[in-house]
Structure 1
Amino acid sequence: MSNIALRYLPVTVDDVDVALAFYRNALGLEPRGDVASDGFRWVTLGFAGQPGLEIVLSEPGAGRSPDDGEALHRLLAKGSLPGPLVFSTDDLDATFERVRASGAEVLQEPMDQPWGPRDCAFRDPAGNLIRIDQAT
Protein backbone atom coordinates (compact mmCIF):
# COMPACT_ATOMS: atom_id res chain seq x y z
CA MET A 1 0.00 0.00 0.00
CA SER A 2 1.28 3.51 -0.76
CA ASN A 3 1.91 6.09 1.94
CA ILE A 4 -0.58 8.90 2.50
CA ALA A 5 -0.28 11.94 4.74
CA LEU A 6 -2.32 15.00 5.64
CA ARG A 7 -0.91 18.05 3.79
CA TYR A 8 -3.27 21.02 4.31
CA LEU A 9 -5.75 21.77 7.07
CA PRO A 10 -8.11 24.64 6.15
CA VAL A 11 -9.09 27.05 8.92
CA THR A 12 -11.77 29.61 8.14
CA VAL A 13 -11.28 33.00 9.79
CA ASP A 14 -12.96 36.39 9.53
CA ASP A 15 -9.69 38.38 9.36
CA VAL A 16 -6.61 36.70 7.90
CA ASP A 17 -4.17 39.26 9.36
CA VAL A 18 -5.53 38.91 12.91
CA ALA A 19 -5.55 35.11 12.61
CA LEU A 20 -2.02 35.12 11.19
CA ALA A 21 -0.77 37.10 14.19
CA PHE A 22 -2.46 34.66 16.60
CA TYR A 23 -1.23 31.45 14.98
CA ARG A 24 2.28 32.88 14.53
CA ASN A 25 2.75 34.69 17.86
CA ALA A 26 0.60 32.69 20.29
CA LEU A 27 1.05 29.19 18.86
CA GLY A 28 4.46 29.54 17.22
CA LEU A 29 3.59 28.52 13.67
CA GLU A 30 5.87 29.76 10.86
CA PRO A 31 4.35 31.59 7.87
CA ARG A 32 5.09 29.65 4.68
CA GLY A 33 2.96 31.19 1.97
CA ASP A 34 0.67 34.11 1.22
CA VAL A 35 -1.39 34.00 -1.97
CA ALA A 36 -3.96 36.58 -3.08
CA SER A 37 -6.64 36.05 -5.73
CA ASP A 38 -9.95 37.75 -6.52
CA GLY A 39 -9.77 39.93 -3.39
CA PHE A 40 -9.08 37.05 -0.99
CA ARG A 41 -5.94 35.63 0.65
CA TRP A 42 -4.79 32.17 1.60
CA VAL A 43 -2.00 32.14 4.18
CA THR A 44 -0.21 28.90 5.01
CA LEU A 45 1.62 28.26 8.28
CA GLY A 46 3.37 25.27 9.78
CA PHE A 47 5.77 24.00 12.42
CA ALA A 48 9.49 23.50 11.79
CA GLY A 49 9.24 19.89 12.98
CA GLN A 50 6.39 19.10 10.57
CA PRO A 51 7.50 20.38 7.16
CA GLY A 52 4.82 18.48 5.24
CA LEU A 53 1.78 19.81 7.13
CA GLU A 54 0.33 23.31 6.80
CA ILE A 55 -2.66 25.17 8.18
CA VAL A 56 -4.35 27.33 5.53
CA LEU A 57 -6.06 30.49 6.80
CA SER A 58 -8.75 32.02 4.59
CA GLU A 59 -11.94 34.03 4.84
CA PRO A 60 -15.37 32.40 4.38
CA GLY A 61 -15.79 33.70 0.81
CA ALA A 62 -12.36 32.63 -0.44
CA GLY A 63 -12.79 30.22 -3.34
CA ARG A 64 -16.52 29.76 -2.67
CA SER A 65 -19.76 30.97 -4.17
CA PRO A 66 -21.24 34.09 -2.51
CA ASP A 67 -24.03 31.96 -0.99
CA ASP A 68 -21.62 29.37 0.40
CA GLY A 69 -19.32 32.10 1.72
CA GLU A 70 -22.19 33.81 3.52
CA ALA A 71 -23.41 30.51 5.00
CA LEU A 72 -19.90 29.73 6.24
CA HIS A 73 -19.57 33.27 7.64
CA ARG A 74 -22.78 32.77 9.67
CA LEU A 75 -21.45 29.48 11.08
CA LEU A 76 -18.11 31.12 11.92
CA ALA A 77 -19.86 34.02 13.68
CA LYS A 78 -21.80 31.53 15.84
CA GLY A 79 -18.66 29.50 16.68
CA SER A 80 -20.28 26.52 14.98
CA LEU A 81 -17.58 25.40 12.58
CA PRO A 82 -16.36 21.84 12.97
CA GLY A 83 -13.47 21.42 15.30
CA PRO A 84 -11.58 21.53 17.46
CA LEU A 85 -8.06 21.97 16.18
CA VAL A 86 -5.94 19.96 18.61
CA PHE A 87 -2.30 20.85 19.17
CA SER A 88 0.23 19.10 21.39
CA THR A 89 3.05 20.69 23.41
CA ASP A 90 5.81 19.49 25.70
CA ASP A 91 5.05 22.28 28.24
CA LEU A 92 1.31 22.83 28.60
CA ASP A 93 1.54 25.40 31.39
CA ALA A 94 3.99 27.65 29.52
CA THR A 95 2.01 27.31 26.29
CA PHE A 96 -1.24 28.09 28.11
CA GLU A 97 0.25 31.27 29.59
CA ARG A 98 1.62 32.40 26.21
CA VAL A 99 -1.74 31.85 24.47
CA ARG A 100 -3.66 33.50 27.32
CA ALA A 101 -1.30 36.51 27.17
CA SER A 102 -2.18 36.89 23.48
CA GLY A 103 -5.73 37.80 24.52
CA ALA A 104 -7.32 34.57 23.28
CA GLU A 105 -10.59 33.62 24.94
CA VAL A 106 -9.84 30.95 27.56
CA LEU A 107 -12.45 28.18 27.63
CA GLN A 108 -10.63 25.79 29.95
CA GLU A 109 -7.47 26.13 32.01
CA PRO A 110 -5.04 23.17 32.03
CA MET A 111 -6.59 20.12 33.66
CA ASP A 112 -6.35 16.34 33.65
CA GLN A 113 -9.09 14.80 31.54
CA PRO A 114 -10.81 11.54 32.55
CA TRP A 115 -9.97 10.04 29.13
CA GLY A 116 -6.23 10.61 29.65
CA PRO A 117 -4.54 13.79 28.47
CA ARG A 118 -3.91 16.99 30.38
CA ASP A 119 -5.18 19.82 28.20
CA CYS A 120 -6.62 23.32 27.91
CA ALA A 121 -8.95 25.09 25.47
CA PHE A 122 -9.20 28.49 23.76
CA ARG A 123 -11.00 30.20 20.92
CA ASP A 124 -8.87 31.77 18.21
CA PRO A 125 -9.75 35.38 17.23
CA ALA A 126 -12.34 34.09 14.73
CA GLY A 127 -14.02 31.82 17.30
CA ASN A 128 -12.53 28.49 16.20
CA LEU A 129 -12.07 26.02 19.06
CA ILE A 130 -8.42 25.25 19.87
CA ARG A 131 -7.40 22.50 22.30
CA ILE A 132 -3.81 22.01 23.40
CA ASP A 133 -2.67 18.88 25.21
CA GLN A 134 0.50 17.85 26.98
CA ALA A 135 2.63 15.59 24.80
CA THR A 136 3.30 12.24 26.43
Structure 2
Amino acid sequence: MTVVTELRIALTVDDFDAAVALYRDALGLAQLEDWSSDRGRVLLLDAGRATLELFDAAQAAMVDDVEVGRRVSGPVRFALRVADADATAAALVRAGASEVAPAAVTPWGDRNARVAAPDGMQLTLFSAAEVS
Protein backbone atom coordinates (compact mmCIF):
# COMPACT_ATOMS: atom_id res chain seq x y z
CA MET A 1 0.00 0.00 0.00
CA THR A 2 1.23 3.51 -0.87
CA VAL A 3 1.34 5.96 2.02
CA VAL A 4 1.01 9.65 1.10
CA THR A 5 2.99 11.89 3.43
CA GLU A 6 2.19 15.32 1.96
CA LEU A 7 -0.50 16.91 -0.20
CA ARG A 8 0.94 19.69 -2.35
CA ILE A 9 -1.25 21.82 -4.62
CA ALA A 10 0.49 23.37 -7.64
CA LEU A 11 -1.43 26.53 -8.60
CA THR A 12 -0.46 28.25 -11.88
CA VAL A 13 -1.35 31.96 -11.82
CA ASP A 14 -1.20 34.72 -14.42
CA ASP A 15 -0.16 37.42 -11.92
CA PHE A 16 2.50 35.88 -9.68
CA ASP A 17 3.06 39.05 -7.63
CA ALA A 18 -0.67 39.43 -6.89
CA ALA A 19 -0.85 35.77 -5.83
CA VAL A 20 2.14 36.20 -3.48
CA ALA A 21 0.58 39.35 -2.03
CA LEU A 22 -2.66 37.49 -1.33
CA TYR A 23 -1.55 34.02 -0.22
CA ARG A 24 1.74 34.80 1.55
CA ASP A 25 1.42 38.41 2.65
CA ALA A 26 -2.31 38.85 3.40
CA LEU A 27 -3.31 35.29 4.29
CA GLY A 28 -0.06 34.64 6.13
CA LEU A 29 1.04 31.36 4.56
CA ALA A 30 4.68 31.04 5.62
CA GLN A 31 7.22 30.84 2.82
CA LEU A 32 9.15 27.57 3.07
CA GLU A 33 11.19 27.70 -0.14
CA ASP A 34 11.89 29.92 -3.14
CA TRP A 35 12.81 27.78 -6.14
CA SER A 36 12.64 30.62 -8.66
CA SER A 37 15.16 30.71 -11.48
CA ASP A 38 15.65 32.39 -14.84
CA ARG A 39 13.13 29.84 -16.20
CA GLY A 40 10.27 30.85 -13.90
CA ARG A 41 9.10 31.78 -10.44
CA VAL A 42 7.92 29.40 -7.72
CA LEU A 43 7.40 29.69 -3.98
CA LEU A 44 6.48 26.88 -1.62
CA LEU A 45 4.07 28.15 1.03
CA ASP A 46 3.08 26.31 4.19
CA ALA A 47 -0.68 25.89 4.41
CA GLY A 48 -0.73 23.77 7.55
CA ARG A 49 -2.32 20.35 7.60
CA ALA A 50 -3.76 19.26 4.25
CA THR A 51 -6.81 17.18 3.52
CA LEU A 52 -8.54 16.25 0.28
CA GLU A 53 -12.30 16.66 0.28
CA LEU A 54 -14.06 14.81 -2.53
CA PHE A 55 -17.52 16.16 -3.39
CA ASP A 56 -20.12 14.99 -5.87
CA ALA A 57 -21.96 17.70 -7.84
CA ALA A 58 -24.95 17.66 -5.49
CA GLN A 59 -22.80 18.27 -2.39
CA ALA A 60 -20.81 21.03 -4.13
CA ALA A 61 -24.10 22.71 -5.06
CA MET A 62 -25.35 22.41 -1.46
CA VAL A 63 -22.18 24.00 -0.04
CA ASP A 64 -22.34 26.82 -2.60
CA ASP A 65 -25.99 27.37 -1.66
CA VAL A 66 -25.15 27.53 2.07
CA GLU A 67 -22.16 29.84 1.62
CA VAL A 68 -23.21 31.97 -1.35
CA GLY A 69 -26.88 31.32 -2.11
CA ARG A 70 -26.29 29.91 -5.60
CA ARG A 71 -23.93 27.61 -7.53
CA VAL A 72 -20.73 29.55 -8.24
CA SER A 73 -17.61 27.46 -7.63
CA GLY A 74 -15.68 25.47 -10.17
CA PRO A 75 -14.23 21.98 -9.76
CA VAL A 76 -11.57 23.21 -7.29
CA ARG A 77 -12.13 25.46 -4.30
CA PHE A 78 -9.76 26.00 -1.39
CA ALA A 79 -11.24 25.74 2.11
CA LEU A 80 -8.98 27.29 4.72
CA ARG A 81 -9.54 27.10 8.47
CA VAL A 82 -8.76 30.47 10.03
CA ALA A 83 -9.26 31.97 13.49
CA ASP A 84 -11.70 34.64 12.25
CA ALA A 85 -13.44 34.17 8.89
CA ASP A 86 -14.79 37.73 8.82
CA ALA A 87 -11.45 39.41 9.57
CA THR A 88 -9.53 37.16 7.19
CA ALA A 89 -12.01 37.79 4.38
CA ALA A 90 -11.72 41.55 4.93
CA ALA A 91 -7.90 41.35 4.88
CA LEU A 92 -7.94 39.35 1.65
CA VAL A 93 -10.34 41.81 0.00
CA ARG A 94 -7.99 44.65 0.97
CA ALA A 95 -5.17 42.61 -0.63
CA GLY A 96 -6.99 42.22 -3.96
CA ALA A 97 -9.49 39.39 -3.52
CA SER A 98 -13.16 39.98 -4.28
CA GLU A 99 -15.99 39.11 -1.93
CA VAL A 100 -18.19 36.32 -3.26
CA ALA A 101 -20.37 36.20 -0.14
CA PRO A 102 -20.11 37.60 3.39
CA ALA A 103 -19.59 35.28 6.33
CA ALA A 104 -22.54 33.25 7.51
CA VAL A 105 -23.12 30.49 10.03
CA THR A 106 -23.46 27.08 8.36
CA PRO A 107 -25.93 24.36 9.37
CA TRP A 108 -22.97 22.51 10.97
CA GLY A 109 -22.11 25.57 13.10
CA ASP A 110 -18.98 26.91 11.38
CA ARG A 111 -18.73 30.53 10.26
CA ASN A 112 -17.83 30.56 6.55
CA ALA A 113 -16.95 33.44 4.21
CA ARG A 114 -16.25 33.14 0.48
CA VAL A 115 -13.78 35.24 -1.52
CA ALA A 116 -12.21 34.90 -4.95
CA ALA A 117 -8.48 35.43 -5.38
CA PRO A 118 -7.31 37.67 -8.24
CA ASP A 119 -6.57 34.48 -10.22
CA GLY A 120 -10.21 33.38 -9.84
CA MET A 121 -9.63 30.64 -7.26
CA GLN A 122 -12.52 30.61 -4.81
CA LEU A 123 -11.57 30.39 -1.15
CA THR A 124 -13.88 29.35 1.65
CA LEU A 125 -12.58 30.82 4.89
CA PHE A 126 -14.02 28.95 7.84
CA SER A 127 -13.87 29.40 11.56
CA ALA A 128 -14.77 26.11 13.19
CA ALA A 129 -17.70 25.91 15.54
CA GLU A 130 -16.83 25.98 19.21
CA VAL A 131 -17.14 22.51 20.73
CA SER A 132 -18.71 22.59 24.17
Which of the residues 75, 84, 87 maps onto 1:91? 84
Which structure 2 residue ranges, 5 or more long, are not aligned?
Answer: 51-71
The aligned residue for residue 127 of structure 2 is 134
Q: Which runs of 4+ in 1 moved over 4 A?
A: none
| Residue aligned with 1:82, SS | coil
What is the aligned-residue identity percentage?
A: 31
| Residue aligned with 2:123, SS | strand
Which structure 1 residue ranges, 5 or more long, are not aligned?
Answer: 54-78
Residue 80 (structure 1) shift:
7.9
The aligned residue for residue 7 of structure 2 is 7
TM-score normalised by L of structure 1: 0.65
5 Å-filtered alignment, 1:13-92, equals 13-37=13-37, 39-47=39-47, 50=48, 82-92=75-85
Between the aligned partners of 1:36 and 1:94, the Cα distance in structure 2 is: 31
Query: Is the 2:13–2:19 contact (alpha carbons within 8 Å) kept by the matching residues of 1?
Result: yes
Structure with the largest fraction of strand: 1
Q: What RMSD in Å do the two structures reach over aligned CA positions?
A: 2.7
TM-score normalised by L of structure 2: 0.67
Between the aligned partners of 1:80 and 1:135, the Cα distance in structure 2 is: 21
| Residue aligned with 2:114, SS | strand
Query: Is the 1:16–1:43 contact (alpha carbons within 8 Å) kept by the matching residues of 2?
Result: no
